[in-house]
Chains A and B, each alone.
Chain A
Amino acid sequence: MADYLVDEMSPYHLQMSMFVTTIREQGDEAQRNHWLPQIEAWKIIGAYAQTEQGHGSNVRGLELQARWDPKKKEFELHSPTLTASKWWNGALGRTATHAIVVAQLLLPQIQTPSIDAADDAEPRYVSHGPHPFVVRIRDQDTHQPLPGIVVGDIGPKYGYTSMDNGYMLFNHFRVPHAAMLARYSRVDPETSAFQRTGSSAVVYGSLTNVRANIIMHARLVLARAVTIAVRYCSIRRQFKDRDALDTESIPETVVLDYPTVMIRVLPLLATTFALHYTGEAMYELYRRSRESIEGGDFGSLAELHSTSSGLKSLCTMYAADGIEICRRAMGGHGFGGGSGLVQINADYLSKPTVEGDNWMITQQVSNYLIKKMTAAVEEPHMESKDALSDHFRRYLKQRTTARPQEVITSNGTIDDTALVEAFKWRAATLSYQAYQQRIVQKQRWNTLLISLHKLSRAYSESILVTNFHSALQNSPLSEPTRSTMRDLFHLYALHTIDSDARTFQTTGALSAVVLDAIPDRVLDIMTQKVRPHAVKLVDSWAIPDYLLDSALGRYDGKVYEELFQKAHRENPLNRVTFNVDWRSSEIVKGDKDSEARILAKL
C-alpha cells in the first residue's frame, strides 16, 4: 500500500514482484529454501531479465545461451550477438545484485555411439527452449559487475524515469547446476538428459500473474485519471450558454455540462467499474488455476493464458487511451505538470507494449477461440466442459434461426440480459467467421491478423459486460446506489456498442433500428442519470490527494491556488535569472562561464 501511495516505480519493485514470484513458483524446494529467506531479509536485490534487445514478444526467439558442460557440471551463459543483450529489465541497470536470467537451454545431443566419431569431438548441442536461471551479477561489497558480465542502464524513456531498466551481456560466464530453477524441468547432472515434470507453458505462469495484476492496476489508473477530470471539469467554467435568454447575468457553463466533454469522460467513468468487476473475476480465475496447477493439473492454463492475454490487451488500451482522453478533456491545463496526469500518462504508456504487445498477444485469444469453435463444430453433441464451449454449441444450434436481441424493449426500458447476450452473440459469430476463414477456407494467418485482433477485442468486451452484469445480480449495494451502478453498466455497454455498431449489425446481434436509437440513449443516460452523481462516483474510488498529486483533481477543489503554489514556490527554474541578450555569451546572469559550462556537457 505504501508503495502504491508513493506512486513512483521503485528500483526495488522487481524484488517484490517478478523476482520473488518466479523463485517461489518455479524453484524446487531446495532452491526456495535457499533463496527466499535471503530475499525476505533483503540480503540480495533481484531483477528479472527476460526480454532482449532483439526479442520481446517472441520468448522462444531469445538468443542468450545457457550451455551445459557435462564435465564440469556447470552452465555457461553466453551472449553470441549484440541483440542477445538483455534489455529493458527493471532494476537491472544500477540496482540488482542478482537476476533471474532467461536463456536458451543447450544440452549435448545424446548420441548412440558411432565408430566414426572421435571420442573427444565437440558434442552437438540442441536447444530445449528458454529456461530461468538465478545468477549473481554484481559483487556483494563493491557492487561492481562480476567479471564476464557487462551491465548498465539503458537510458531515458518516455516515463518510468525512477526505474533503472537495464541491459546485460555475458561472456562465457559460468553458473552452477543449482542456478537453473528446477521445479518443472531440470537437467540430470549425471546423464545430461532433459527432464520435464510439467507443462512447458508453466514458464508463462508468472507472466500470467503479472497480467492479472496489470488488469487490476488498469482500473485504478483509469479511476485516477477520471477522478481528476471529473473534479476539474466540474470546477472549470468556460463560455456562457448560447441558448440562455439573459447572457449578462448567468455565470459561464461548467465544462462537464458540455456533451462533448461528457461523451469523453463519463463512459470512462463507467469503464472503471467495468474493469473493477472483471479484475475481481480474473483474480478468482487465476487463484483457481494456480490451485489446479499446484495439484498437477495443467488443463486450465490455456484458458487462463488466453483470457488474460485478451483482457490485458483491452484493459491497458482502455487505461492508456483513457488517461490521454481525460488529459485532453481538461484543455490547456491538462498539459501542465499540475494536472497530475503527465507522469502517470508517461509511466503508464509502457503498458500497451510491455508483458506481451497488445496487438501481438490478441493472436493467442483468437487461436484459443478458433480451437474451441472447431471442437464445437466437430462434436456438436458432446457435453461441454466449460461455459465457453457450452455457449459455442448453443450458438451453432441457433446460428441460422436466431433474431437480433431486443435490448431496448417496446416500453423503452433496457433488457440487461439481452444486452449481455448481444455481446456474447457477436463474439461467437466472429469466432465462427474466424473458424470458417482459417480452418475451412485455410486462409493465411497473416492476412487474418486484423480481424483476429477485432475478434479478441469483441470477446474481451463480452467478458467485461458479463462480469459487470453478474456483479450487479449479486450486489450487496443498497437500492439507490445499485440503480446508479446499473446506469453505469448501461452506459458502458451501450457506448461500447455505439463505438463498433457495425459488427453488432453484421453479426446479427442487434438490428439497425436498435443501433440507431443508441446514441440518443447514451446522451440521455449521461445527462439524466450519471452526470448528477459524477463527483460522488469518483469520490467513491477514495483516491487520496497525496496519490493524485494533482492541482486539478484536488478533493477540495482548490485548483487555481494549488496550480499557482506549484508554479511559483516549487519550481527551481524560477531561481535562475538569465541573460537574454543574443549577443552575449553569458547565459545565466552573473555566471561568466555559463556558456563554456553548457558546451562541456554536450
Chain B
Amino acid sequence: MAPTPQWVKELKPSGPQGHELLKQERAKSKLPVEQLSQFLFTRGGLERKHGILAILEKEKVFYKSQNYFAGRVDRFETALARAKRLRQLTVQHGWSVEDFRAATELISEPGPYGLHESMFLITLRDQGTPQQREKFYKPALNYEIIGCYAQTELGHGSNVRGLETTATWNAEDQTFTIHSPHLTASKWWIGSLGRTANHAVVMAQLVIAGRSHGPHPFVVQIRDLKTHEPLENIHIGDIGPKFGYNTMDNGFLLFNNVKIPHFNMLARFSSVDPQTNRYMRPSSPSLVYGTLTWVRSTIVMQAGGVLARGVTIATRYCAVRRQFQDRDAPEWEKGENQVLNYTMVQIRLLTLLAATYALHFTGKGMMQLYETNQNKMSQDVGQVGSAQRGAGPEETHSGSDLLADLHATSCGLKSLASTIAAEGLETCRRACGGHGYSSFSGIGPWFADYLPTTTWEGDNYMLSQQVARYLLKSARSVMKGEKPTNDTTQILSNFLAKSDIGAAFDVLGRDEDIVAAFAWRTAFLTFEALKHRDEQKKAWNDLLVDFYRLSRAHSQYLVVKNFYETLQSPSLTAELDPETVTVMYKLFRLHSLHTLENEASEFYTSSAVTVRQIQLARTSAVMRLLEELRPHAVRLVDAWDFPDWQLDSSLGRYDGKVYEDMFYRASEQNPLNAITVDPYPDSPVLFKKNDSAQFKSKL
C-alpha cells in the first residue's frame, strides 16, 4: 500500500475542531466530575481500575487495533492468547476477584475461559460435597482442569425440566450412563465448550430404575488432558458464528452411552444412595436457584454501565458532530449546529443518560437486597421450601417473604434493565447517524456482544411470569386482610384502602408523588390481573401479555423508587455538593416523567394522573428538563469514567478527535487497503496485488 502522502497528513477537519468543542462543553458546566465518579464507584474502585489499566495497556497481546478487522478463527486464537496472559498476570500480581473483574471489563471481550471462571467454578463450589470440592473444585481453581457448564440443549432452553440428556443409574456397577437419545438432546450454546474445556458440568435427567427424577448436575471429563481430543463416544464442537460473542467458543456436545462413576454426580443437595439405589434429597434446593438469582442481580448491576458506554460515545460524538444551521438562528450566528442541540437527539440521548444513573442506583439496591437475603438464608438453611417448581401457576414456595421478593425483583429487573440497555445501545448507535454504523463507533460490536443478555439467564418475556405470579400471590394475601410484610404488600394495601376515594398525585410538583404514582399503577394493574385470573377465570396463556406489562410496570416502579431513595440517602448529600444534587434530581425527574409519558395510557387508565398532566409532562416538563440538563451532558458522561482504551471508539474519544481517529484507522490500520483488485467482471483475476499479510506483520 502506498504511504500516506504529505498533503493528506497535513489536512485538518474543518473547524471548530472536535477537541475545542468538547473543551467548550466541559467549560459550560461546573459539575465536579471526579466527585461524581467517586460517588458512583468509590475512590478505591477508581484506583483499582486505573492501576490495572496501566498494566494491561503495556501488554502487546491486549492491543485492540485489529479487533474490528480480524475474522473469527483469528479472533478466537487471539482471545485464547489473551485469556492465558490474563491468568498469568493474575497470578503474577496476586489479583483479587475484584481486580480480575476490573481487568475483564477493561478488555471487554468474552474469553474462552469465561464459563470456566464463572458457572463451572460456582457450580462445583456450591453444589459439590466437601469430597467433590477437593477432587474437582481445587484443581479447577488452579486451571489444572478447564470446565464449562452444559445445561441448554438444541431443543430446550428456558424449560430446564424438558432437557433430554439422560443420566441412568446402573446399580450393578454403581455408575451413571450419560446419553443423548435425540439430536435435540445435543448440548448447545455452551460457552467455553466448543474448543476449550476438558471437563463439563452436564445437566441431565437422572433416571433410576426407569423413573426420572428431573435434571441434575454431573461432572464429566470430555477431552483428553494430553491430546485435547474428545474422549471416545463423545462428540464436541463449536456451534459456529453468532450475532456477537464470536471470541467465545459456544459449543455442542453429544454422548453415546458414556459411563461415569457414582462420585461424579454433584451431591450436596441430592444424591443416589449406592446401597439402596434410592434417590435422596437432603437439603433445600432454594440455594441452587440462589446462583441464578446472583447472576440476574449482576446483570441488573451491570446494565447501567453497559448502556453508559453507548451514551458516552454518542453524547461526545453528538457534541462534536455539526449538521445544518439552526433555522431560527439569528443572521450573525454562523455555522452549523451541534447535533446534540437538536431536541430530537436530546430526547433520545439525555433520557438514556438519565436511565444510566437510574439503572446504576437500582443495581446497587438489588445487590444489597441479594446480600441481605444471603445472610438470612445462611442462618436458616434446610428450613425452607418444597422442591416442586412450576407445578401450577399459583403455587409458590412457602419460604420467606424476602426470598420470594428477591426472586421476583431479580426476574423483573433483569428483564427490564437488560431490555433498556440493549435497546438503548441501538438508539445510541442510530443517534450517531451514518458513522454509528462503522465498527469504529465502538457501539455496534459492544451491542452485539451484549444482546444475548436479553434472552439468557431467563428470557426477558418468560421471566415476567415469575413477577406476575408473585404479585398475584401478594395481592391475594392483601385481599385476605393479611398485614403488609414488605414494600410490595404495602403498596397493594395502600391502593386497596384508597381505591374507593381515588388518588391525586402531583407528579409535576412533588418528587415523592412520582414514586407514589408508579406504585399506584403497579397496584392497579395487579388487581386488574387478579380479577382476570380469579374472578373471570381467564386462561394463564391468555394473560401473558398482561403479565408482561404488569412485570414491566412493577420493575419501572422499582427503578424509580431506587433512584428516589438514593437521592434521599444521607450519603448523597454528604458526598455531593448542592449543585450536583440538584442535577441528580433533574435526572430523576427526566427518567421518571419520560417513562410516565411513554406508558401514558396505563397511568391514566389507573387514574394515577390525568390526561392533562401527561400532556404537560411532555410538552413542558420534559422539554424544560432537556434544556436544563443539556449543558451538563458531557460532564455527566465523563463521570462514568470510561478510559478511551476501554471504549475503543473513534466517535467517543475523550479529546473529541473524532475525524482524525476515523481516518487514521481507515487508512493506516485497514488490511483491505493493502489489496488491489481487478475490477472488471470478465477477468478471472480477483486480486491484482495482495500485500495484506505483510501489512499485518508490519504493524
Query: Which stretch, B288-296, B406-414, B450-458, touches the partner chain A?
Result: B450-458
Q: In the complex, what residues of A have CB within 8 A of residue B183's CB?
A: 560-561, 564
Additional A-B contact list (12), CB under 8 Å, known A154-B438, A327-B243: A81-B13, A82-B659, A167-B667, A238-B158, A259-B544, A324-B426, A328-B454, A563-B239, A576-B73, A578-B195, A582-B83, A602-B699
The answer to whether B675 touches A143, judged by C-beta atoms less than 8 angstroms apart, is no
Docked CA distance A451–B622 (Å): 13
Taking a contact as CB atoms closer than 8 A, the residue among B184, B324, B663 that contacts A58 in the complex is B324
Q: Is the CB of B451 within 8 A of A335?
A: yes
Segment of A121-129, A468-476, A501-509 engaged in the interface with chain B? A501-509
- Interface residues as binary, B417-454 with A (CB distance below 8 Å gives 1, 0 otherwise): 00000000010011001101111100010001001101
Residue of B nearest to A449 (CB): B344
> Contacts of A525 on B, CB cut-off 8 Å?
none
Interface bits B62-85 vs A (CB < 8 Å: 1, else 0): 010110111011101110110110
- Inter-chain contact B195/A579, CB cutoff 8 Å: no
Identify which of residues 545-602 in chain A touch chain B, using a CB-to-CB cut-off of 8 Å. Answer: 560-561, 563-564, 566-568, 570-574, 576-585, 587-589, 594-595, 598-602
Q: B32 contacts the other chain (Cβ, under 8 Å)?
A: no
Number of chain A residues close to chain B: CB under 8 A: 130
Q: In the complex the two chains form, is B241's CB within 8 Å of A337's CB?
A: yes
Report the minimal beta-carbon distance from B190 to chain A, rounded to whole angstroms: 11
Q: Which of B2-10, B362-370, B481-489, B634-642 contacts A (4 or more CB under 8 A)?
A: B2-10
Asked if B343 contacts A158 (CB within 8 A), the reply is: no
Q: B672 touching A94 by the CB < 8 A rule? A: yes
Residue of B nearest to A362 (CB): B344
Chain B interface category by residue count: 35 or more
- B256-280: CB near A (< 8 Å → 1, else 0) gives 0000000000000000000000000
A461 within 8 A of B: no
Which residues in chain A, 340-370, are within 8 Å of chain B measured between CB atoms?
342, 345-346, 349-350, 352-354, 357-360
Contact status A152-B240, CB under 8 Å? no
Could you tell me the distance between the alpha carbons of A548 and B183 in the complex, rounded to whole angstroms?
A: 23
User: Which B169-193 residues have a C-beta within 8 angstroms of A?
Assistant: 183-184, 186, 188-189
Question: B461 an interface residue at 8 Å Cβ cutoff?
Answer: yes
Is B242 part of the binding interface, using a Cβ–Cβ cutoff of 8 Å?
yes
Q: How far is the CB of A592 from the nearest CB of chain B, in Å?
A: 14
Q: Please, what's the 1-or-0 string for B597-620, where 1 marks a CB less than 8 Å from any CB in chain A? A: 000110001000001001100010
Decide: B240 and A523 in contact? CB cutoff 8 A: no
> What are some 17 contacts across the A-B interface (CB < 8 A)?
A42-B680, A51-B434, A56-B433, A94-B676, A155-B669, A157-B437, A167-B667, A171-B5, A239-B162, A259-B544, A260-B464, A328-B460, A332-B152, A342-B241, A502-B601, A519-B545, A563-B188
The 8 closest A-B pairs by CB, nearest first: A158-B444, A81-B14, A449-B344, A582-B87, A156-B439, A82-B11, A567-B239, A152-B673
* B310 CB contacts on chain A under 8 angstroms: none
Q: In the complex, are the beta carbons of A573 and B80 less than 8 A apart?
A: no
**Contact string, B323-335, partner A, CB cutoff 8 A, digits 1/0?**
1101110000000
A319 within 8 A of B: no
Q: Mark A151-170, 1 if CB is under 8 A from B, else 0.
A: 01111111110001001010
Which residue of the partner chain B has the closest CB to A247? B391
A598: which of B81, B113, B672 is its contact (CB, 8 Å)?
A: B81
Q: Which residues of A contact B66 (CB under 8 A)?
A: 601-602
- Of A95, A155, A238, A335, chain B has the most CB atoms within 10 Å of the CB of A155
Set A143, A560, A568, A602: member contacting B184, Cβ < 8 A: A560
Contact (Cβ within 8 A) B678 A143: yes
A334–B681 touching, CB < 8 Å: no
- In the complex, the answer to whether B65 meets A334 with C-beta atoms within 8 Å is no
B605, chain A: closest CB distance, angstroms: 7
Q: A54-B13, A95-B679 are in contact. Are A447 and B392 (CB under 8 A)?
A: no
Which B residues touch A260, using CB under 8 A?
461, 464, 544-545, 548
Q: Which of B68, B436, B545, B670 meets A152, CB within 8 Å?
A: B670
Q: Is the CB of A79 within 8 A of B70?
A: no
Q: For residue B542, which residues in chain A have a CB less than 8 angstroms away from its CB?
A: 259, 523
Contact A336-B242, Cβ < 8 Å, known A155-B670, A359-B345: yes
- Which A residues lie at the B interface, using CB under 8 A? 11-12, 42-43, 45, 51, 53-58, 61, 63, 79-85, 87-88, 93-97, 138, 142-144, 150, 152-160, 164, 167, 169, 171, 238-239, 241-243, 252-253, 257-261, 263, 324, 327-328, 331-332, 334-338, 342, 345-346, 349-350, 352-354, 357-360, 444-451, 453, 501-502, 505-506, 515-516, 519, 523, 560-561, 563-564, 566-568, 570-574, 576-585, 587-589, 594-595, 598-602
Cα distance A258–B390 when bound, in Å? Answer: 17
In the complex the two chains form, is B242's CB within 8 Å of A337's CB?
yes
In the assembled complex, the Cα of A218 lies from the Cα of B106 at a distance in Å of 38
Residue-by-residue, is B226-251 near A (CB-CB < 8 Å gives 1, otherwise 0)? Answer: 01110000000111111111000100
Does B347 make an interface contact (CB < 8 A)? yes
Docked CA distance A505–B605 (Å): 12
Does B101 have its Cβ within 8 Å of any Cβ on chain A?
A: no
In this assembly, does B588 line the interface, its C-beta being within 8 Å of a C-beta of chain A?
Answer: no
**Separation of A594 and B188 alpha carbons in the complex (Å):** 29
Within 8 Å of chain A (Cβ to Cβ): is B645? no
Are A600 and B252 within 8 A (Cβ)?
no
Query: A39 to B438, alpha carbons, bound, how many Å?
Result: 30
The answer, yes or no, to whether B12 is at the interface (CB within 8 Å) is yes
- Asked, given contacts A444-B328, A570-B240, A576-B73, whether A157 binds B452 with beta carbons under 8 Å apart, the answer is no
| A259 and B541 within 8 A (CB) | yes
Binding site for A on B (CB under 8 A): 2, 4-5, 7-8, 11-14, 60-61, 63, 65-66, 68-70, 72-74, 76-78, 80-81, 83-84, 87-88, 112-113, 143, 146, 152, 154-159, 162, 183-184, 186, 188-189, 194-198, 227-229, 237-245, 249, 252, 322-324, 326-328, 336, 341-345, 347-348, 390, 392-393, 426, 429-430, 433-434, 436-440, 444, 448, 451-452, 454-456, 459-461, 464, 539-542, 544-545, 548, 600-601, 605, 611, 614-615, 619, 623, 659-660, 662-663, 665-667, 669-670, 672-673, 675-682, 688, 696-697, 699
Which residues of chain B are within 8 angstroms of A51 by Cβ–Cβ distance? 434
Which of A153, A573, A581 sits near B673, CB closer than 8 Å?
A: A153
Which of B66, B347, B437 counts the most chain A CB atoms within 10 A?
Answer: B437
Q: Which of B77, B344, B439, B545 contacts A594 (CB 8 A)?
A: B77
Instruction: Name the one of A79, A96, A253, A587 contacting B11, with C-beta atoms under 8 angstroms.
Output: A79
CB–CB B159/A153 < 8 A: no
Judge whether A573 and B159 touch: CB under 8 Å: no
How many Å lie between the Cα of A94 and that of B539 in the bound state? 60
User: Could you say which of B80, B227, B539, B660 contacts A82, with CB atoms under 8 Å apart?
Assistant: B660
- Determine how close the nearest CB of chain B comes to the CB of A382; give it in whole angstroms: 28
Within the complex, what minimum Cβ distance (angstroms) separates B620 from chain A? 11
A154 in contact with B666 given A143-B678, A331-B459 (CB within 8 Å): yes
On chain A, the residues within 8 Å of B195 by CB distance are 573-574, 576-578, 580
A516 CA / B452 CA spacing, docked (Å): 35
B112 to chain A, nearest CB (A): 7
**A144 to B676 CA separation, bound complex (whole angstroms):** 8
